[in-house]
Chain A
Amino acid sequence: AQSVTQPDIHITVSEGASLELRCNYSYGATPYLFWYVQSPGQGLQLLLKYFSGDTLVQGIKGFEAEFKRSQSSFNLRKPSVHWSDAAEYFCAVGLFGNEKLTFGTGTRLTIIP
């Protein structure tokens, strides 16, 4: 069965510092990969997605993610975080032809001044 792992439950980063959130997946085929962000009290918002092609994808709010097949990873990055980036981040995977997404357990991001 497919699975998604986000190894970091909570990360604290200083404002202006770089960020990398980890995501590993386990699938029999090439998955379709997503990153969502959840601000407090809000629903999830799509940051970016990877289906095929260039393995480095750009998303909203200055985020990017890189698909590495050899490592079964899809890590989210941002070169310089802002206080407004404090939120919970979810990695998700899906399979072609199946609308069902499987989510990781999330990583909570705290930004300190």
Chain B
Amino acid sequence: DAGVIQSPRHEVTEMGQEVTLRCKPISGHDYLFWYRQTMMRGLELLIYFNNNVPIDDSGMPEDRFSAKMPNASFSTLKIQPSEPRDSAVYFCASSSGQGWMNTEAFFGQGTRLTVV
């Protein structure tokens, strides 16, 4: 398996524009997580899905952020409209929930978002 794949790797956009980040989890994994990493706040969980259903979105900062998982192999994180304070590295991770002892979250390489 190629691991968790995120696209794009880098995104530069102007304030007010819509931004869509994409993630392909590892095949067979039934959990998918979106994290945001900033210097100030470290690594924060934004939302996670189980079997394509959002379970906990309490970390989503505002209504400008939305996430979807239309199928087991694809998820998006959308920011509309984007603001400079959204600049961060966004990570997607997936894991198999087949028993806690086997749980390990595998991370993608991240998308570095810059909003100017």
- Residues of A whose CB lies within 8 Å of any CB of B are 32, 36, 41-46, 49, 51, 90, 94, 96-97, 99-106
- Whether A46 contacts B91 by the Cβ 8 Å rule is no
Whether A42 and B109, one on each chain, are in contact in the complex, defined by CB atoms closer than 8 angstroms, is yes
A43 pairs with B108, CB closer than 8 A: yes
Quick check: is B105 within 8 A (CB to CB) of the other chain? yes
Compute how far the CA of A49 lies from the CA of B100 in the bound complex, rounded to whole angstroms: 11
Among B12-20, B43-51, B80-88, which stretch is in contact with chain A?
B43-51
Q: How far is the CB of B8 from chain A (nearest CB, A)?
A: 14
Q: Beyond A43-B108, A99-B48, A99-B50, is A106–B43 a contact (Cβ under 8 Å)? A: yes
- CB within 8 Å for A49 and B104 given contacts A43-B110, A99-B95: yes
Q: How far is the CA of A48 from the CA of B41 in the complex (A)?
A: 24
Closest residue on chain A to residue B91 by CB atoms: A43
Q: B100: which A residues are within 8 A, CB to CB?
A: 32, 51, 96-97
A44 contact set on B, CB distance < 8 A: 43, 91, 93, 105, 107
Query: Contacts of B55 on A, CB cut-off 8 Å?
Result: 99
Nearest CB in chain A: distance from B17 CB, A: 25
What's the Cα separation between A90 and B48 when bound, in Å? 19
Q: Which residues from chain A contact B104 at a C-beta distance below 8 Å?
A: 46, 49
Residues on B close to A: CB < 8 A? 4, 31, 33, 35, 41-45, 48, 50, 55-56, 91, 93, 95, 97, 100-101, 103-105, 107-110
Bound CA–CA A97/B107 (angstroms): 20
With both chains docked as a complex, state the minimum distance between the C-beta of B40 and any C-beta of chain A, in angstroms. 9
Contacts of A94 in B (CB 8 A): 103
Instruction: Report the nearest A residue to B30, measured CB to CB.
Output: A99
* Inter-subunit contact A99/B97 (CB<8 Å): yes
CA distance A97 to B93 in the complex (A): 18
Residues on A with beta carbons closer than 8 Å to the beta carbon of B110: 42-43
